[in-house]
Amino acid sequence: MLFNSIDFAIFLPIVFILYWFVTNKNLKLQNLLVVIASYVFYGWWDWRFLTLIFFSTLVDYSVGMKLKTEASQKKRKVLLWISILVNLGFLSFFKYYNFFLDNFISAFSFFGQEIQANSLDIILPVGISFYTFQTLSYTIDVYKRKLEPSNDFIAFSAFVSFFPQLVAGPIERAKHLLPQFYKKRTFDYSKAIDGMRQILWGLFKKIVIADNCAEFANQIFNNSADMNGSTLALGALFFTFQIYGDFSGYSDIAIGTSRLFGFNLMQNFNFPYFSRDISEFWRRWHISLSTWFRDYLYIPLGGSRVGTWMKIRNTFIIFIVSGFWHGANWTFIIWGALNAIYFLPLLLTNNNRNNLEIVARGKLFPTLKELSCILLTFGLTAFAWIFFRAENIGHALSYISGVFSATLFEIPKFSGIRSALTTTILTGTFVLIEWFGREQQFAIQNLGLKWSLPLRYAMYYMIIVAIFWFGGKEQQFIYFQF
Catalytic center residues: 326
- Residue partners of 4: CB distance under 8 A and separation at least 6: 203, 206, 207, 474
Structural Rg of the chain based on CA atoms? 23
Measured in degrees and rounded to the nearest 5, phi and psi for residue 52 equal -65, -50
DSSP-assigned letters across all residues of 388-443? HHSSSHHHHHHHHHHHTSGGGGSPP--TTHHHHHHHHHHHHHHHHHHHHTTTSSST
DSSP state of 183: S
Long-range contacts of 187-195 (CB under 8 A, 24+ apart): 187/20, 187/24, 187/262, 188/262, 191/259, 191/262, 192/259, 192/260, 194/256, 194/259, 194/445, 195/255, 195/256, 195/257, 195/258, 195/259, 195/260
Gap between the Cα atoms of 212 and 475, Å rounded? 9
Residue 132 and residue 160 in contact, taking contact as beta carbons nearer than 8 Å: no
Separation of alpha carbons 304 and 284, rounded Å: 20
Q: What are the DSSP calls for 183-241, one per residue?
A: SPP---HHHHHHHHHHHHHHHIIIIIIIHHHHHHHHHHHHTGGGS-HHHHHHHHHHHHH
Q: Which residue type does 88 have?
A: L
Q: What is the DSSP-derived secondary structure letter of residue 445? A: S
